[in-house]
Structure 1
Amino acid sequence: MNTEELLIDDLREGMRQYLEMEYSHLKDKNVALSDAFYAYRHNVGVGFWESLKNEQAMECCREKLEEYFVNVRKVKTPRSNSYSYLRSMKILKEYIDKSYGGVQKFLENEMIEPLSTKDDEHTGEDEIETEKNQGVPTPSKREMIKYLDVWDNLENYTLQESALEKLFFRTYPKNTDIDDVLIKVSSLNDFYSTNIFSPYTVAKHIINLNIDERIESEDITLVNDLAKVHMDNGSVKNFYSFATKYCSHHNPLAFPIYDSYVDKVLRYFRDRDNFSKFKTLELKDYRVFKEILIRFRKFYELEEYSLKDIDKYLWLLGKEKFPNKY
C-alpha cells in the first residue's frame, strides 16, 4: 500500500468504530462505511478530500454523484442514491471534524498536500486550537505534581485501578486459560468502555497469541498484534486502545496506554512546541507511540517520572482541556 492507501485504511477503521459508538442504531453500518468512501474509489468528477472540506463542497459532490449515476451507472433513482451517499459522507466528515479538527488539519498532520483554503467557508473550530485551549500550561515538574495529586484523589479511578491490579497481578497473572482471560477482557472493557463487542472472540485471540513471555520481555510489537482481531463475521477489528490497556495492566512501566485524550495532548504539544515530528497515524504504531512518549519526557525534562506517570498526566490534561464532543 502507498501512503494514501494506508491513510484511507486507518480512516475507514476509525469511522467503523465511530459508527459503532455514535450510530449504534443504524442497521446497515457497513453500507454507510462503504458509501462514505465512494468518491475515493470512483472518479465522480470531484476529488475525495476536496468533497469533505465544507458543506458547499459536499453538496457539489452530491450533484456530481447524481450526474455519475445518470450517465455512467445509469441507476433508476440517481437523485435518491446521491442523497443516500451524502448522508454517509456527512458522518465521515463529522468523525474527521471531531477527531482531527477538520479535513484540512487532518491532511496537514499527515503531511499530505493540504486543500486550497482560498475563499473557503469557515468549517468550525479545531478542537485542539480553541481559545480555551490556548492557555494549556507547558509540561513541567510542577504540572506533573499537580496532576498526579489530582489522580491520587480520584477515588473512583484509584479504586478501579486497584481492582484491576489485583485481577491482573495476583488473581489471574497468566494468559493461558480462557476463563481467566475472558474475565480480564470483560473487566477492562467495562471499566474503560473500550467497545469490545465480543469479549470471547478477543479472549480467544489473546490465548492463541501466547503473550506471557512477550509481556515479560517487554516486546512492544505485541500490542499491534493483539489489537488486530479476526471477528466471526470475517471482518478484522483494530482494538488498539484496548490492546495497550491490556498489556499495560500486566506490565505498566513497559507498556504505556494510548487513548484519545493522550492522542490529542501529544498532537497539541507537537504543533505548539515542536517537541517531536510525527504523523498522526504513527500514534497507532505502538513502537513509534512509545518513542514519542520518551521524546516528550526528555524534551520537557521529566525523566524522573515513569511512563506510567506521564500516562496519567497526559490523560488527565486531555480530559480537562480537550474533552470529547458528543
Structure 2
Amino acid sequence: MRRFEYLRAASIDQAIERLSFDPGAKLLAGGTNLVDLMKYDVACPTTIIDINDLPLGDIKETSDGGLRIGALVTNSDLAFHPVIENRYPLLASAILAGASAQLRNAATVAGNLLQRTRCSYFYDVMTPCNKRTPGSGCPARNGLNRNHAILGASQDCVATHPSDMCVALAAIGTMIVVQGPNGARSISLADFHRLPGDTPEQDTTLRNNEIILGIELPPAPEFQRYSYLKIRDRLSYAFALVSAAALLTIDDGVISTAHVALGGVAHKPWRDTAAEVVLVGRPASRGNFHQFASMLLSRSEALSQNGFKIELARRTVVRALEQAASRTPQSQSDKRVH
C-alpha cells in the first residue's frame, strides 16, 4: 500500500472542497472495497477523506410516502430496518444474498453503489486493463471470461458490476441524491451506472468532486410479490454468475406491473423497461415469463467461456418471476432453489 494523506471530514462542504482541490482523493466509509483495491495497488489515492462523521446515516420517510436512505447507512442496518423488511422486502433479500455478515456490518449504501468490478484482470496490475489503465487493452475478451458480461459489453471492456443491492434498487426504481460545488442533484439509478463503451474507466456518472448524500425509494405499497434469485458457484459468499430481482403486481391472475433487473450479466444492473411492457395485461404464466426472458436477453452475446450464462439467465428470470407470482420468494437463509 502506498503512502497517502488522511483527512477526517468535519462537513459535507469540506469533503467536496477537498475532492475539488485534489483529483486523486478518495472517500472512505466502510472501506470494504477501497482498502482491498489499495492493497493490490489498483487504487492509489493521494488523499483519503474519511466521511464517517458526516450526518448521512438516517432513514427517513419522504413527503410522497417513499423513503430517503443516507449514504452511510450500513447494509446490515438497511436490511433489518422494519420499514425495509415490510415495504421493500426485495431490497432486504438482495442485501442478505451478498457478502458475509461481517462485511454487511461495515459496508455502506454509497460504497455499495460505487463498488468496482471483480474482474481478475482489473485486480492484477501486471496485466493490461482498459478500466484500470485506459488504452492498454482488455485481455478478458480472449482470455478468462467465464464470469463476464453477456449484455452491454464493448470491445474495450466486458467486466460486470458485482453488487446485489443495486440489482434490487434497479428493479425498485431508485433515485440517487448527490452534492457537488454547485449544489445537489438527483440521478436515476438507471443513469448512474454506465455501460463501458470506449471509456470503461468511468463506472458511473458521478463527478469527481461530488459526494453521494443518499438514495430515495419511491412509494411501494403494492409491491409485495417479489423474489431475488442469485445463482453462484457456491451457496454463500460468492458473487453472482447471474441474479434476478423481480417485482410483480397481479390482479385476478393478470399482471398489472412488472419490474425485473438482472445482475452478473453487464457493466451495470440490467433492466429493460420496454421488455417489461410485454408482461403487462397478461396472465402470470410460465409461457409468458419465458417469452419475456427471451426478449430481455435477445441482444446477449457470448464470449469464449460464458455462453452458458445466456441460458442460465433465461432460467433465472423465469424462476424469479414464478417465485414472485406465487408469493414464495427465494430464501436467503436456505439458498437452494426449489
Q: Same fold (TM over 0.5)?
A: no
Point out the structure with the larger helix share. 1
Point out the structure with the larger strand share. 2
TM-score by length of 1: 0.20
Higher normalized contact order (CA 8 Å, seq sep 6+, divided by chain length): 2
TM-score by length of 2: 0.19
